[in-house]
Amino acid sequence: MSRILIQNGRVIDPSEGVDRVTNLLIEGDRIASIDTSQMCADTVFDATGKIVAPGLIDIGVQLREPGFEEDETIATGTAAAIAGGFTTIACLPNSNPPIDTQASVEFVQLQAARASRCRVEVLACVSKNREGAELAELGALSQEGVVGFTDAMKPIANPELMRRALQYSQMFGRPILNRPEVPELTRGGVMHDGLQSTLLGLAGMPTEAEDLMTGRDIRLAEATKGQVHLLGISAIDSVEQIRRAKARGVNVTASMFAANFAADA
C-alpha cells in the first residue's frame, strides 16, 4: 500500500471543523491521519503556503456536450475540473438538445464514465426543451438518477409551472434550481442598474428583478414543502429573505457566482 505524506499545508475541512497548518498522511486511497508525526512515506509533498482540502464541488457546470463541442466536451470539461481541484460537478442541462429525456441523461452519464475524470451528476430540465411551457417528465428523469431540475440560466417565469415543479420536488426528493430574475425586468441587461450602468451607457438590471423572484420562489416552496435552490443571488434583500425563510423552516438554499466576489456592478 502506497503512502503519501503532505507536510506543512493548511488543512481545511469544514465538515470536521479543521483549519490549521499540519501534516496529513494518505495510505492507499484513504486519509490515514491528520496531525501525523510520521515523516517517512513513499511520496512526500511540501505544501507550505498551500491549502489542502477535500475535493471541491461545482453545482452549475456547462459541459456543452452535446451540441456545442467546439466550446468544450465532457472529456475536456471534466479534465479541467480535476485540474482545478473539483472532484464532483453537476452538469447543467443547457446543451443542444437540452437534457430533458431519459436518453439525454444516459448520454451524459455514459460520456462521463468514458472520460473517467471526476464524478459527474446530472441536472435535468424543469420544462421540456427549456421553453418554460410544459413540465419535463420529472418522475422518469428522477429514476435515471438526476440530482435536481433546472432550466439553467433561464428563469422559470411561469408561477404555476414553478408551483407544480416544487410539488414534484417534494414527491421525488429533488431540488428545483432557479435563476431568480423576472425576465421582463432584466431583458437586455448586462450589469446592475445603477450609477455605473448609467455612466457607461449600458442596460442595467434592477435589484427588484431578483427580489421579486426570490420572494415568489420562497413562498411557493413554503406552500408546497418542496426544495428550491436559488442560483446566482447578488442582492442583499434576497439574502435577508432567504435568511428569514430558513429561520421559519422553508427548504431554501442559495449560491452566488464567483464574479460577484470581484465586482459589485
pLDDT at 103 over 80: yes
Angle between helices 207-224 and 159-172 (to 10 degrees): 50
Which residues, at least 6 apart from 13, have a Cβ–Cβ distance to it below 8 Å? 19, 53, 54
Establish if 146 belongs to a structural domain: no
Domain end: 76, 108, 141, which one? Answer: 141
pTM greater than 0.85 (yes/no):
yes
Which residues, at least 6 apart from 7, have a Cβ–Cβ distance to it below 8 Å? 23, 44, 45, 46, 47, 48
The pLDDT of residue 36 = 76
The pLDDT tens digits for 143-153 are 999 999 999 99
Establish if 261 belongs to a structural domain: yes
Evaluate whether 214 touches 181 at the Cβ level (below 8 Å): no
Question: Hey, CA dihedral for 235, 240, 245, 247, is it positive or negative?
Answer: positive
Would you state the cell numbers that stand for residue 124, as one nine-digit string? 435535468
Structural domain of residue 98, as residue ranges?
55-141
Whether residue 254 is found in the same domain as residue 174: yes
Greatest extent of the chain over all pairs of C-alpha atoms, in Å:
63
Whether residue 35 is found in the same domain as residue 61: no
Question: Number of folded domains in the chain?
Answer: 3
Whether residue 259 is found in the same domain as residue 162: yes
The pLDDT tens digits for 166-180 are 999 999 999 999 999
- Separation of first and last alpha carbons in the chain: 52
Neighbour-count burial for 164-201, b at 16+ CB within 10 Å, e otherwise: bbbbbbeebebbbbbbbbbeebbeebeebbeeebeeee
The pLDDT of residue 164 = 98
Whether residue 199 is found in the same domain as residue 240: yes
Question: Hey, CA dihedral for 238, 239, 244, 249, is it positive or negative?
Answer: positive
Establish if 13 belongs to a structural domain: yes
